[in-house]
Structure 1
Amino acid sequence: MKVTVMTVDEQIITLDVDRDESVENLKALLEVETQVPLQQQQLLYNGREMRNAEKLSALGVSDGDLVMMVSNALQSSASSNAMGFNPDGSAVNPSAFQQHLRNDSNLMAQLFQNDPELAQAVLGNDLNKLQEILRMRNQQRTELRRRQEEEMALLYADPFDVEAQKKIEEAIRQKGIDENWAAALEHNPEAFARVVMLYVDMEVNGVPLKAFVDSGAQSTIISKSCAERCGLLRLLDTRYRGIAHGVGQSEILGRIHVAPIKIGQIFYPCSFLVLDSPNMEFLFGLDMLRKHQCMIDLKENVLRVAGGEVAVPFLQEKDIPSHFLDEQRHAKEAASSSGSQATSAGEKTNTPTGGPSGSSGQTQTQGPNFEAKVSKLVELGFGREAVIQALKFFDGNEEQAAAYLFGG
């Protein structure tokens, strides 16, 4: 017969066992599957502990039944060595525990990914803070285990209940998510890193600028202050002024129909929309990328102009002013606004539909979508502050934040 075993960390294991198999032999099979020693396993069936000497048939276990496994492997194994933990979760020898983690670069890399607060405490010099965080993590694990045991007890009450089946299905789904996340950490860790936007050095009317290259914005944009610095405001055609509605709202002051820009050593004609947007300087949009046959070559990390006539390198993060990294979001909003409809005083002027290309890299921590994610995770029993921090850390990714909170 087949027996399904669910661990408190939501691992689902299906075993093919004999009806008259002993509980001890079942634990031995689980030891192979979970790496949890037999002595540290506690099996529950219908809320009742299964003793090693008992037979499955005598306990009433039948084909397709669900058994829960509880384990205290972490504390049991840790308490047997110098790097062990006290009952409250604090380290027996905090100094030795700290040094042990510091000496393991792979473990520290995983710790920075999964629990940056604990990683910072390990690298710091405050052992009291380290002990406090360890106690907090122990309390979180204990509370999580308690909630999961309560949920499993409800499942045992009626395993054919529709709601119980939904919870089992969700546990299996979450297991797949956790495995996918672990695989990404191992094989695609760069996916969790911040993506730096594309900037190149240009000159606009002889003034050096760091231009934000954005193929997701259909209009090239210059701010009023930047246009003034480049001596171009005298060419502003205010007949094209209006209000651009998109992600946010920006005032279109007008249009500069042509001005020279220098890319590499070659000059090219360029036109701009002028926006009253103090948080954005210059955005090189799709209209000029198309006009000058530009290619974004990410293999060589260069912007090629005129079909390859000129190639200028994209700037490294260290060469981009720090305030530009915060301005990326504003530039995208301005691009989106300029790409929506603009209403002027005497007519309705249609401008190209631009908008965010989805690459701003900024975590949205306000608005209904973010609050909906927070509410959903809070309903699972986590504190609001912990949920917000997890969502911020994972750039608003709800599934990664949930995996982190459950694994805490």
Structure 2
Amino acid sequence: MLLSVTTDSDSCSLEVSGDLELENFKALCEAEINVSSSSMTVIVNGIPLVDDKKSLDQLGVKDGDLVMIVQADQRSSASPTSAPATSSSIPEAVAQFDFSSIQVPSSSTHATTHASTSRAGGAGASEDDPAVILDLLKTHPEQMGRLRHNNPPLAEAAMRGLEEFTRVLKEQHEAKVEKECQRIRMLTSDPFDAEAQKLIACEIKKQNIDANMEAAMEYNPESFGTVQMLYINCSVNGHPVKAFIDSGAQTTIMSEVCAKRCNIMRLVDQRWAGIAKGIGTQKILGRVHMVQLEIEKVFLASSFSILQEQAMDMLLGLDMLKRHQMVIDLQRNVLQIGTTNTSTRFLCDAELPECTRLTQGSDLRNEEQAKMESEQQAREAEDQAIARAMSESATEAASSRPGDGGAAASASSSAGAALTPNVSEADISEIVAVGFTREEAIVELQTHNGNKTQAIASLFAKRFSFK
């Protein structure tokens, strides 16, 4: 049932069950409107409710009723000269300050806080002072827990110190003030204005999203948890491997590192090399056509595509699942193998490999990106070296044209120069045997990045063009 709860300074709406006892209802009201349940009197339709052990239905409370909360004055017996800053006043201040809405103190909260401060004697700092709030949080861990749940950035700032806590609290307060001003402008502006309509549409969209998330957190909280992948224990060529079960993968794959560990790289058929495309692209080194895969002391024949850059050791794809009629049984948390009538359990969270963590995956992506950047820099440096070598060779060739002596000197200079890594002496010897000079062979091999066939074709083309 939905009840409208009101006090002399505040009001709210509460959705409660009819079998909720009165004492529990008072505790709920204490958390929502900061009124002590011990001094609280609940009045419905002008009748005070006194039996705390009875439910709301038994007390005659109906859906849509207006509930009035009256607090008895417990301060009359206290001495007017009592000190307000004693240790007994701290829990009362904590109860009056709602840390769940600490992001923005509203005007009613300001009024209530200042009123309580003036009632306490007017001495000391206001409860809106960041130093006072931080002291209360440090002395009351339960309030810090509420703050950590409702406002994580402010809770983290509280752990860093007063300066950071003051800065974050001020920023959040200014943000809410700005949002409130925007809402007022939206309400007072022309309803047919295009900008006002956009603001209204954004506000409605945000409210719908928040309402959807609140409903999911209340009725389907498990959707916010982390779901771990399905892994099983197996052995490949006698080496233990944690295999990932992926019914969305077309083939069974294995990383190059795992293939070397299992000693099956000698069986890789490079004729099956290529590029694997999915979420990104990876290079396929080749394929191992048949390897013994052991699952729960049962041997199955399996083939693997070996990927060069793969975070997971092994991924059991749809080809193996269909070939051996495997069933993913989530009710029993096992993988059922139909061809052998056996089953193996899925690994628990503590047994999963490190690559399943999101942070580990991001680290691998960062390493891969760094590797690609280093390879790109190496290629650029190599291209610059080739360009310098070509320019030097062209200069030497121009200086050697007037006579044979210059050509001999140029050839000896080129022969003494250092060769780039992509130029081998064997390729130079083969080009020289065809009928070209060593200098020409080196220049063309450097120009064509060590490709002997293209270098010879280029030399023949130049020779024919000169004729």
Whether the TM-score (by the shorter chain) exceeds 0.5 is yes
Shift of 1:91: 4.8
- 1:218/1:206 CA distance change after superposition, 3 Å: same
Query: What is the TM-score normalised by the length of structure 2?
Result: 0.49
Matched, 1:103 2:110: no
Of all paired residues, the percent bearing the same amino acid is 37
Matched, 1:310 2:345: no
Residue of structure 2 in register with 1:298 after alignment: 330
Q: How does 1:5-154 map to 2 (within 5 A)?
A: 31-32=11-12, 71-78=106-113, 80=116, 86=126, 90-92=130-132, 94-100=134-140, 102-103=141-142, 108=145, 111-120=147-156, 128-129=161-162, 132-133=164-165, 135-154=167-186
- 1:103/1:215 CA distance change after superposition, 3 Å: same
Q: Which ranges of structure 1 fall in alignment gaps of 5 or more residues? A: 1-26, 38-69, 333-408
Shift of 1:230: 1.0
Higher RCO (CA-CA < 8 Å; seq separation 6+): 1
Quote the Cα distance in structure 2 between the aligned partners of 1:262 and 1:163: 66
Shift of 1:261: 0.8
Quote the Cα distance in structure 2 between the aligned partners of 1:76 and 1:190: 40
Residue of structure 2 in register with 1:348 after alignment: none
Shift of 1:158: 1.1
Given that 1:204 and 1:230 are in contact with CA atoms closer than 8 Å, whether structure 2 keeps it comes out as yes
Given that 1:301 and 1:314 are in contact with CA atoms closer than 8 Å, whether structure 2 keeps it comes out as yes
Count of residue correspondences: 265
Residue of structure 2 in register with 1:167 after alignment: 199
Matched, 1:237 2:269: yes
Quote the Cα distance in structure 1 between the aligned partners of 2:154 and 2:210: 21
- 1:268/1:158 CA distance change after superposition, 3 Å: same
Residue of structure 2 in register with 1:256 after alignment: 288
Quote the Cα distance in structure 2 between the aligned partners of 1:71 and 1:230: 65
Deviations 1:343-385 (A, max 9, x none): xxxxxxxxxxxxxxxxxxxxxxxxxxxxxxxxxxxxxxxxxxx
Q: How does 1:185-334 map to 2 (within 5 A)?
A: 185-277=217-309, 279-306=311-338, 309-326=341-358
Quote the Cα distance in structure 2 between the aligned partners of 1:331 and 1:311: 33
Aligned residue identity for 1:289: L
Given that 1:280 and 1:328 are in contact with CA atoms closer than 8 Å, whether structure 2 keeps it comes out as no
Shift of 1:157: 2.9
Given that 1:89 and 1:137 are in contact with CA atoms closer than 8 Å, whether structure 2 keeps it comes out as no
Given that 2:186 and 2:200 are in contact with CA atoms closer than 8 Å, whether structure 1 keeps it comes out as no
Aligned residue identity for 2:142: N
Aligned residue identity for 1:258: M
**Secondary structure, in 3 states, of the residue corresponding to 2:357?**
helix
**Secondary structure, in 3 states, of the residue corresponding to 1:315?**
coil
Aligned-pair Cα RMSD in Å? 3.7
Q: How does 1:331-346 map to 2 (within 5 A)?
A: none
Given that 2:157 and 2:164 are in contact with CA atoms closer than 8 Å, whether structure 1 keeps it comes out as no
Quote the Cα distance in structure 2 between the aligned partners of 1:307 and 1:183: 45
**Secondary structure, in 3 states, of the residue corresponding to 2:232?**
strand
Shift of 1:244: 2.8
Given that 1:75 and 1:85 are in contact with CA atoms closer than 8 Å, whether structure 2 keeps it comes out as no
Given that 1:280 and 1:330 are in contact with CA atoms closer than 8 Å, whether structure 2 keeps it comes out as no
Quote the Cα distance in structure 2 between the aligned partners of 1:165 and 1:85: 43
Aligned residue identity for 2:280: G
Q: Which ranges of structure 2 fall in alignment gaps of 5 or more residues? A: 1-6, 15-28, 34-104, 366-467
- 1:227/1:292 CA distance change after superposition, 3 Å: same
Quote the Cα distance in structure 2 between the aligned partners of 1:85 and 1:308: 76
Quote the Cα distance in structure 1 between the aligned partners of 2:171 and 2:129: 8
Greater helix content: 2
Aligned residue identity for 1:186: E
